Structure 1
């Protein structure tokens, strides 16, 4: 924080503020760094920027193509150097350190009531930190679903779950066993990055892992409710997919090696593009916890405004346009994800049974903030402690008690450094 202030003070004193900060002929120029990467998503983003520029000649937005790869370090460098984009596309699980570090503008008082009222309070909670400051607009979210080979389900004569009548975790394990035969594994869990899936789905069984005390400090627990989902994953996961990312499981899925693959909702686009002709697949809801609990923890994609931007109010006006219900629906369709806005969720295109859109939209009400989102130090905890520990557990190298001790003891040491 002190380094950032020193850099900014030096720039002001020497009169060498970055050139992009100067308005040209009364025109405010805002840089919008987007992380959209799929062709349809990039096109949707660029079209909306063009539509804004065509109707707002005094507030021009420049589209800057960013990348999810290394975005945290890239943004940190740009913040510290006073070169951050005015409008920043990121994810909720990446915002805590930037928000506490003073790099992001508090959006309270900047956003219009229409936008704040359209997005549910539980979604706003994913971008709210400290004393209640709001440091991003959550606009796209992604439930985890099960993509299944319909022919293999029918051959095994298993019950097909629906959002209204999902599988329990116990029934899911039974189905996985019934589907494992003749060279086919019931489930191909992509576990190269196991933390988000494990923690997000554990919300259905009451698992939270992170617990904030009255003093505001976070501790790690890994009790029976937290353990239910990882136990189910360990019992059903094909060993061949332990080091795979989501895309890596698709060739085996298309070839009948895996009957089901639990994936993020957006992977449907790759399946539509890559599946062999005539391949019959379906989208199923993730298993439910006790009492049919289908809650999932998610970390939405977000749009923030840099604290150092001289055009914060102009940027907020652009966000209001960019995230109008119809526009938010366009962005969701381009990214094959769900919008957070209730108005956008009513768009008929998002409620079509084709490609499982209706299943995903029906799950939207069950999506909740992932417990880790407000935890300072989560990224380090995830990378240095949780990911290797869970990978070893799922491979069978360690048992549940060893996993528990590592998450609590080693994880607690990491988080303690951020809470002094």
Structure 2
């Protein structure tokens, strides 16, 4: 899930179940009035995802007649707050989505159930067929992530690829990108300039090269330039690295210097996601969760390519994920774990979600067939798998105990994007603030252990 889907969700969602009422709806023994085992499932997503997950849960109920699932759906930008409120109020859902950056804290505080035995002993799923990178995000041995017990399964792996408007390229007679070779930064800017145009002669630009959101699209540029927010050990904030500064400056220059992205004012009138949907941007990030909406709403053909490569000469990108965890306080551990496994790893459940085109399959076998299915657009779906297998990585905060240090970077970055604060001054000011928050996170982890 990303920021651009939040507005879609808000505009299209007509009603939301309130978390407090729904989570308090079970009887004392966790059974409904008709004697069925009652589970609460708390989740979020864009409209297409919500519809698909509701349908998949219904399939689970049909296959498990003695179970009734109360679905608690929450707006994406409110989800973490409501989940934390539920945890603080000791009304942890039986099954719920959660961020992999929360694994350590949720395990240490006793929020998550260890489901290793159920998962490894299940006859309905084949753990070796599930992306190892996905499962490892939810393993924790008390010290190291990626090892030890399983405290959740991936709802999905979400590779954030770069999309391009193929129709726009062809109309402008610009050569299509090479799906196997990334643009250099200079090449990317040159193509973006060719596709930034005033098409009707009124003196105003009608289409732009791109329009990236800094929260979700800066990472590929930083990483491909050999920099990062944090060192390998997870102990030092490294945004003052010259390579990081260079990458952030390149990102800022796309608007301020090269004029290949809409101005702040133009984005307020029509945000970049809407411009992409209207066919007014040449490049825009695409996740598997976008495919259902794009299939029905785009009036142009699009495809995927690698992110532009910085000084390393190699593309970089991120692979997000949400976990499906089981609350440690559930009164029905077996049924709750079976629901989590069905949503994440059961072949029938996976196929239902794939058919809805809201995510990339967790099953590698189904994913292979999915990539080869030419009836499912875009054509180069292999790019999603390349991100998982080759050049994608997790977000920086996944390796630390809390994410506050990372979130701090983006809180006050708007003046940099506006050209009112220099990149150098910004990182110089932010690095010590972020370092203090990271030090606090390290101290919290030591105390918890």
Q: TM-score, normalised by structure 2?
A: 0.75
Unmatched 5+ residue regions in structure 1?
Answer: 1-15
- 1:287-340 per-position Cα deviation (integer Å, ceiling 9, x unaligned): 245666334222212211112112223222222333223422432453533233
Structure 1 distance, partners of 2:42, 2:399, is 23
Structure 1 distance, partners of 2:136, 2:106, is 16
Task: Tell me the SS of whatever aligns to 2:377.
Answer: helix
Report whether the alignment pairs 1:248 with 2:256.
no
Structure 2 distance, partners of 1:27, 1:212, is 49
C-alpha RMSD of the superposition: 3.3
Report whether the alignment pairs 1:147 with 2:155.
no
Match of 2:3 in 1: none
Match of 2:81 in 1: 73
Indicate conservation of the 8 Å contact 2:235/2:438, yes or no: yes
Report whether the alignment pairs 1:57 with 2:65.
yes
1:27-176 paired onto structure 2 within 5 Å:
27-39=36-48, 41-93=49-101, 95-112=103-120, 114-129=125-140, 130-131=142-143, 132=147, 133-154=149-170, 156-176=172-192
Match of 1:9 in 2: none
Query: 302-311 vs 359-368, which deviates more?
Result: 359-368
- 1:130-166 per-position Cα deviation (integer Å, ceiling 9, x unaligned): 4345432123233333333334323554432243223
1:256-275 paired onto structure 2 within 5 Å:
257-275=280-298
Task: Tell me the SS of whatever aligns to 1:111.
Answer: helix
Structure 1 distance, partners of 2:64, 2:374, is 34
Structure 2 distance, partners of 1:268, 1:229, is 29
Unmatched 5+ residue regions in structure 2?
Answer: 1-23, 199-204, 256-260, 444-449
Change (3 A) 1:302 1:333: farther
Structure 2 distance, partners of 1:308, 1:37, is 28
Change (3 A) 1:53 1:180: closer
The structure 1 residue matched to 2:423, chosen from 390, 400, 410, is 400
Task: Tell me the SS of whatever aligns to 2:42.
Answer: strand
Report whether the alignment pairs 1:233 with 2:251.
yes
Q: TM-score, normalised by structure 1?
A: 0.80
Structure 1 distance, partners of 2:416, 2:398, is 24
1:386-397 paired onto structure 2 within 5 Å:
386-397=409-420
Indicate conservation of the 8 Å contact 2:211/2:281, yes or no: no
Q: Please state how far the C-alpha of 1:90 moved relative to its aligned partner.
A: 3.2
Structure 1 distance, partners of 2:253, 2:334, is 52
Structure 2 distance, partners of 1:18, 1:362, is 41
Structure 1 distance, partners of 2:26, 2:289, is 37
1:9-20 paired onto structure 2 within 5 Å:
19=27
- 1:4-63 per-position Cα deviation (integer Å, ceiling 9, x unaligned): xxxxxxxxxxxx996254346874322112324424x33332332222222323444333
The structure 2 residue matched to 1:381, chosen from 401, 405, 412, is 405
Match of 1:209 in 2: 229
Match of 1:307 in 2: 328
Task: Report how many aligned residue pairs link the two structures.
Answer: 394
